Amino acid sequence: MIIDEDGLWISAPIILPHGATVTACIVEGNAGATSASFSFFRVEHSTQNAYLLAQASVGTEDTSITTPVIDNEIQSYCISVWTLDTADEIYYARIKYTL
């Protein structure tokens, strides 16, 4: 967990099957956490640049995934949740995909 001037934020690695196509992403939490946002990123191994795949408020499913095919050979993936308050709780992240 990181604390900065904008509040608390957390990040977690995401491991999905190589070649899977992501169709949706959601992060669920308590009622207080719904004011926070989540972002699903891919990180290029060669440059360490991060690219946004999906973004929404906690409790809202994003189905408009940018670059949805998972490529574990050249990329890693993570979800971050931003602007959390100390009473906010994150329960889980769910990523829907097809093979």
Q: Where are the domains of the chain?
A: 2-98
pTM given for the model: 0.90
Mean pLDDT of all residues in the chain? 94
1 pLDDT more than 60? no
| CB count in 10 Å sphere of residue 29 | 20
pLDDT in tens, 20-68: 999 999 999 999 999 999 999 999 999 999 999 999 999 999 999 999 9
Q: HEC string of 38-71?
A: EEEEEEECCCCCEEEEEEEECCCCECCCCCCECC
Q: Which pLDDT belongs to residue 2?
A: 58
Q: Which pLDDT belongs to residue 4?
A: 60
For residue 3, name the pLDDT band (cuts at 50, 70, 90).
low
For residue 9, name the pLDDT band (cuts at 50, 70, 90).
confident
Query: Percent of the chain at pLDDT above 90?
Result: 85
Q: Please tell me the class of the 2-98 domain.
A: mainly beta
